[in-house]
Structure formats: structure tokens, C-alpha cells
Structure 1
């Protein structure tokens, strides 16, 4: 009986260790294009992000993005999101993002802050165990959108 309990305990510990090895931290960056309805044209955006993947379906991510510059106006975004992923093929997953973001608008004469819900959708591709790429569309605030291409390193 003790051998069976010991074997069951070792099997449980081994399966826990195997499942615990899957979660990982990641960092990355992206380049994109921001469009704001009340402003002319699209502007280049640049972002950095970092997160923690709990399993293949669930991650938490924080990010910072320079949203673009229109004449005397600059927009920056700071965000915290939950990401839900669904694998659709080998190394390919679609995902949805839901989170909170704080937008800062800097202009001649001052700056304003606005906190809103953030949502987005994207597709990711796992090139190697450590490197993945993604294409994502985000809506940081009503009347604005960003589309970006990024790369992440998982460790």
C-alpha cells in the first residue's frame, strides 16, 4: 500500500512539474499604424510589452506604446490586459485582448489623461519555442485604432 501511495505521489509531483514548466515570461516589441477619427492620416506607432503565459490559452500582459504624432499632438498608451488564445493550427493561434489602458495626449500648452477599456484581436505564430510573431488590431478608445506587427521572446 505504501508503494502505491508513493508511486501515486511521485506521479502527481511529476505531472505538476511538467505542467509548471509550460508557463513562461515574455517580452517583445511592435511597430504599427494608429488612426484617430478626428485627426488626419495614420501615424507610425512603436510599442514594447511584457507578459506572463499561464498556459496556451491564458496570458496577462502590460505594454507601452507611442501611438503617433500629429502636428503638436503626441499620444502615448500604457496598458494592462488579459489575453485569451485558441490554437487553430500547428504553431498558429488567434487571440482576443481585454484590458485597461491609460492614454496620455501631449500638446502645446498641456496634456490630458484618459482611462478606458482596451480590446483587440490578433493572430500569433510560434516560430520557435522562444520566438513568436503576431499581428494585432486594437481599439484603445472610441474613435481610435491601431494595427501592429510584433515579435516576442519567451523565456
Structure 2
């Protein structure tokens, strides 16, 4: 999987380098975009770093202002809880977050920019037993905030990296602070 991701990124970088001399990178807002990313989040139960996956879409109203919405899969973990006097029950926990935010972008050059996002996040933690005999869900709403940078590889493809806060930190599972990066595709 990692080799495939690196091969795709290398291909996009090579295509971007080939077009860099002939393509203007000036913003042509308004425009819509979609993106995909991966990142890391700390798990409060195991203290390990878990991989995250993110998909998002947005609309740039002009060179500076836009709106964005997305979904992040924040990973899963398993743990044992006391059930009765001597029994332990295995529990699976899956975490995810949805967000909607306003976005402000400040260009640094024709190809690079920094941005900030502010909005609302809805986070969910789903608990279940392996055999499906029980399950329940906790959710919370809170402030979504992110700061990041992006670099245009081509007129329509950008590489981004960001640090985001997905609402309130849950009692169990993935924390709310996520470091991620990926690709954004304009159309």
C-alpha cells in the first residue's frame, strides 16, 4: 500500500514538474475542489499513534475566502473491560469526525499559500462487542479549527499539510488533534 501511494505521488510530482514551465499557477477562483489525505492521531487508550484517512470538498469563492466540509476516519482500537466479578469483555471502539468550516487562504507566492479554517465538528465514538451482542455510540459537537499550507503541483493539483482540531476531545479513543497531509484536486 505504501509503495502504491509513493508511486502515485511520484507520478503526480513528475507531471507537475513537466508542466511547471508552461503553466500559469495564478488562482482562477471561484472553483470547487475535492481532496484526500492521511495522517496521525494519538489514541488515548493505547497511547499509540493511529493512521487517519480524510476526504473533503470545498468551494473557493475568491482567492482568499472559501468553505469546506469533510469526513475523517480516526481509527479503531480494542480493549478489555470488567464484566462481572471475574470476566473481561472485549470492546471495539471506532472513531470518526465530520466538519464544516469557513476557510481563509493567504497566498505566499504563485504556487504556495497558507490557510486557516474555522467551523464546527461532530465527532462520534462507536463501541461494540465482537459478536454484535451490544453496541452504543457517544458523540459530541465542538469547535473545528485547522492551520495548514499548500503547494500547487499543477494548475489543478495541490499538495497540502495541516494540523486540525476536531471538536472536543473524547473520553476514549482517538484524540481531537490530527496531523495530516495529502492531495487536493480542483475542477
Q: Which category of TM-score, normalised to the shorter sequence, fits these structures? A: 0.7 to 0.9
Question: Counterpart in 2 of 1:136?
Answer: 162
Question: Counterpart in 1 of 2:77?
Answer: 70
Unaligned runs of 5+ in 1: 1-20
Count of residue correspondences: 135
Runs of 4+ displaced beyond 4 Å = 36-39
More strand by share: 1
**CA deviation after TM superposition for structure 1 residue 133, in Å:** 1.1
Q: 1:112 aligns with which of 138, 143, 165?
A: 138
**CA deviation after TM superposition for structure 1 residue 148, in Å:** 0.5
> Is the aligned partner of 1:121 residue 2:128?
no
TM-score (norm 2): 0.68
Question: Counterpart in 2 of 1:153?
Answer: 185
Other structure's SS at 2:42 match:
strand
User: In structure 2, what is the Cα distance between the partners aligned to 1:88 and 1:153?
Assistant: 20
**CA deviation after TM superposition for structure 1 residue 26, in Å:** 0.4
User: In structure 2, what is the Cα distance between the partners aligned to 1:126 and 1:25?
Assistant: 15
Question: Counterpart in 2 of 1:60?
Answer: 67
Question: Counterpart in 2 of 1:7?
Answer: none
Question: Counterpart in 2 of 1:89?
Answer: 109
1:2-39 alpha-carbon deviations (Å, 9 max, x no partner): xxxxxxxxxxxxxxxxxxx6210101100011125565
Asked whether the 8 Å contact 1:36–1:145 carries over to 2, the reply is: no
